[in-house]
A and B are shown apart, each in its own frame.
Chain A
Amino acid sequence: MARLPHAGHYFTRYIDGLLLCGILLLMATGLITLFSATDANSARVTSQAINMLVALSVMWLVANIPLEHIMRIALPLYAAGLFLLLCVALFGEVNNGARRWLNLGVTRIQPSELMKIAVPLMMAWYFDKHETTLRLRDYGVATLLLLAPVLLILRQPDLGTALLIASSGFYVLFFSGLSWRIMATVAIAGGASLPLLWSMMHDYQRKRVMTLLDPTQDALGAGYHTIQSTIAIGSGGVLGKGWQQGTQTHLAFLPERSTDFIFAVFSEEFGLLGNLLLLLLYLALIARGMVIAANASTQFTRLIAASITLTFFTYIFVNIGMVIGILPVVGVPLPLISYGGTSMVTMLLGFGILMSIQTHPKLVKT
């Protein structure tokens, strides 16, 4: 059922049924929630549906590409991404105080989005290449491959994206077998250097951290988001206020309610029960990703599959965590639910790779 390697229709040959099923259910949830969040704005909903179709097509395309080909583009993709990030740092457009976009004349692109996929690919490729003679030095090189784009993105500044890329890279390191001792050492050193990090942070980032600790400190400013979203969620109760009945949502108290804070809309209207179902749905997708990773046949596919799955989890946890007020407000969308085309495409690109790993004939290394 899930695996249709040789038989079956050409069109669905490389599609993983379980993943697709979960994705479609989440997308439907997303559209329903978006309809409410935008006050029945069918134009917004339609445009999101188109985003989804585009993303699904991308997923289908990627799923049909055998991993050897994907592996081959890892280095050029990474190099191009890094180059574009440098261009952004030099000639990028400033928008809302952050330099994230590159104007190519015909269109504007955000190279950091590309790196979300390029970084784990590159690192996995690197580890795959040095698989047989893996030394500590290789971990050092891989860490540099990770740090270069992360630092560039941090400088833009874009804390949310930097965090996601850093974690996707970290997952590759982790699954490639980085020793626990080194991880512990780095963690301790990292903890010790927190004050230094604090001194390097931008004011808006510090403010976010401070308002996380006490959102009421700045109830009308930076803390407003968290306060209003926790009110929305808390007032939803067990069963929720009902679809399109959320007062926080419909009286516009919730900010960014169709994008980063859409979970508050969902939670206000569908309550604890809805939250539980949503988490289970996400969990199902994650579990499928884990199974695919566990069954993957090469170092490269294993690392990529595990990294994609855990990054997917990271998205979910960071987004919901910030909406319910246990994590700082960083710009991370809720996967498959938040409004926005770019993140949708990135997300499904990842799922395409997972499907490709699962559905293409497995080469066993000799």
Chain B
Amino acid sequence: MNHRIELRSYSRELHNFRLRLAISAGFMLLLFLLLFVRFFYLQVSQREHYHTLAEANRISIAPIVPNRGLIFDRNGVVLAHNYSAYTLEIVPSRIGNLERLINELTTVVEISARDRKRFKKLMEENRRIESLPIRTRLSDVEVARFAANRYRFPGVEIKARPFRQYPKGEFASHVVGYIGRINDKDLERLEADSELANYRGSQHMGKIGIEQSYERELHGITGIEEMETDAAGRAIRVISRTPPIAGRNLKLSLDFKLQEVAEKAFGDRRGALVAIEPATGDVLAFVSRPGFDPNLFVDGIDTENWELLNNSIDRPLNNRALRGLYPPGSTFKPFMALAGLELKKRWPESEISDPGYFSLPGSTHRFRDWKAGGHGLVDLHKSLVISCDTYYYSLAHDLGIDNIYNFTSQFGLGKKTGIDIEGEAAGLLPSQAWKMQRHKQNWFAGDTISVGIGQGYNLTTPLQLAFATAVLAGNGAAFRPHLVKQVLDSNNRIVREFGTSPLYRLKLDPANLKAVHNALVDVTRPGGTAAVAGAGAAYTFAGKTGTAQVVGVKQGEKYEESKLDERHRDHALFISYAPAENPKIALSVLVENGGHGGAAAAPIARVVMDYYLLGKLPKEAAAQPVDQVDEEEDEEHQQNREDGHG
């Protein structure tokens, strides 16, 4: 074939050529048909799909973050509000070398080592969030300087953002709580609650206190702005706008002036105070000392401040009023007394003879009265006024643990009060069932005896004690304690209101109540355990002192305050309400390691009562420096440290 010379015929050649032309014409038509099929597929079959994609390209939906609701006290004193400030934000995904970028930024805007550390933390904790602040609260000069150098920093932006501020700082910090940056864990939770859509664009949410428990109300509803944008992301025009609905404002039941008076009355001492209006369940004051500055947490707390707060032996982050568990001590006695009367185990006038101790029949073990030698003949009135232990040992024995449990639990002891902030401790009111479950042991008759004076297994929170006191003061009417009185819309119209109807009313014999009330009034009068604190009160000041042991005292030993380490001293307790005939306020006071209730706790109650009932401001309380040891970790703040930090 290689050397074959074909003789070519012109006409055959032309025919061949034209044949090939025809073949290629068919081929081209086929390929054009292929193009057309593809057009049809894209523009007819898949048109909707591509239309959607084109719209998604064209329209960007920008969330408009609503203003967070304000928090103010019952008289309108603002406790949490917003202000607008500039932040410098970085979109890490758009930055190659972050370290170098930040170094370069330093030439324009001051960025401290603390800012860097905080930013690094934020990066680690918020992988899903696009834009993170490297600096907050820029000055006008810094804003101007950055704006002039903006071209040098793609991926860095200045944003005007609302900031949360707590103008009262430490005061009421355990009530108001704080907001912090939304972290990955929060996002998961929001996703689980199908709330994520409403948080597009939100950077913060409540972490603790009212800010946390009323997050849904405070946050508001995010608005939407549909913008036409070009490929570079520049907004061309607004297509539609759904305005945001601002978060609801909260009017607390708290009286801030009272709160301030109460907090100052503690001086440097650690402790808690909860004051409740018996007729409504309004929490008038809710103190846990020491407090902390919630403003530190808003944009992530820095390491130094965190260490300071977290490692302090005073544990300022621990909400003692809500979560602190203490034996109620003698403050338990009024409820025991009422139980004895209601269950007909005692009459007001029936007397016992107090030798200074109580022994179970057939036992040599002596349950000692606080007063060696005893109080002689003691009736119910005297048992409360002088806080006789022996009277309640024998009463406890006569009642039995089941009756004690059933009766006193009606006052809310041993269970959560249901207050409107999260993390409340339930306390402990012992029962046979509880002991079996917890210790796998039967209940012994001896166990009942110390329960009678609030020392056995009993543990209460200051909030529980205040609630129980309020129920007692209200003659059995129980209102759920609440820190928020009204939820208001942005025009301050009431959306919801709390404390309008009681949870339940206990049926109690008025004569029995009167006997207890009378005795409690005499506690603050000469001869009573709180006589000093009650001296000269211009109203009927009912109260009961209590002292809770921190370290046990062995049989035959004597408790001597002066010999003990300060942190091992007894906790001082006091419950109180006034005016006794028609109580406007009921409260509990706890002073950690304060010693005797009458000396350490009752004076604080007096200051609060004087201010609340008479408007009388105290002279500056003398500060008593006290230290403390505590092992319990505060999980809640620990968690927030992990989130909010940086």
Contact = CB atoms under 8 A, between A and B. Distances in A.
Interface of A: 131-137, 171, 174-175, 177, 228, 230-238, 247-248, 251-253, 267, 271-272, 275-276, 279, 283, 286-287, 290, 293-294, 299, 302, 306, 310, 313, 317, 320-321, 324-326, 365
29 contacts: A131-B8, A135-B3, A136-B2, A137-B2, A171-B24, A174-B20, A174-B24, A177-B13, A231-B54, A234-B50, A234-B53, A235-B51, A238-B43, A248-B57, A248-B58, A251-B58, A251-B231, A252-B230, A253-B230, A272-B40, A272-B44, A276-B39, A286-B28, A293-B21, A294-B17, A294-B21, A306-B17, A306-B24, A324-B38
Nearest to A305: B21
Contact of B8 (A132, A175, A287, A293): A132
B16 A233 contact: no
Contacts of B3: 135
A275 B46 contact: no
Nearest to A246: B54
A292 to B, nearest CB: 11
Given A136-B2, A238-B47, 10 more contacts: A131-B8, A177-B17, A234-B43, A234-B50, A235-B47, A237-B43, A272-B44, A286-B28, A294-B18, A324-B38
B126 interface: no
A268 to B, nearest CB: 8
A235 B44 contact: no
Contacts of B2: 135-137
A236 B39 CA distance: 10
B457 interface: no
A235 B21 contact: no
Interface in B1-59: 1-6, 8, 10, 13, 16-18, 20-21, 24-25, 28-29, 31-32, 34-36, 38-40, 42-44, 46-47, 49-51, 53-55, 57-58
A272 B43 contact: yes
B42 A230 contact: yes
Contact of A290 (B4, B21, B47, B230): B21
Contacts of B36: 275-276, 279
Given A234-B49, A247-B57, A247-B58, A302 B38 contact: no
A248 B54 contact: yes
A49 to B, nearest CB: 27
Nearest to A174: B20
Interface string B541-559: 0000000000000000000
Nearest to B33: A279
Contacts of B47: 234-235, 237-238
Nearest to B1: A136
Given A252-B230, A272-B40, A324-B35, A175 B51 contact: no
B192 interface: no
Contact of A275 (B5, B13, B39): B39
A235 B50 contact: yes
B506 interface: no
Contacts of A174: 20, 24
Contact of B50 (A175, A233, A306): A233
Contacts of A287: 25
A17 B34 CA distance: 30
A283 B13 CA distance: 26
Nearest to B4: A135
Given A175-B20, A276-B36, A279-B36, A231 B31 contact: no
Contacts of B623: none
Contacts of B230: 251-253
A228 to B, nearest CB: 8
Given A279-B36, A320-B35, A251 B53 contact: no
A132 B13 CA distance: 11
A233 B32 contact: no
Contacts of A228: 57
B57 A251 contact: yes
B53 A235 contact: yes
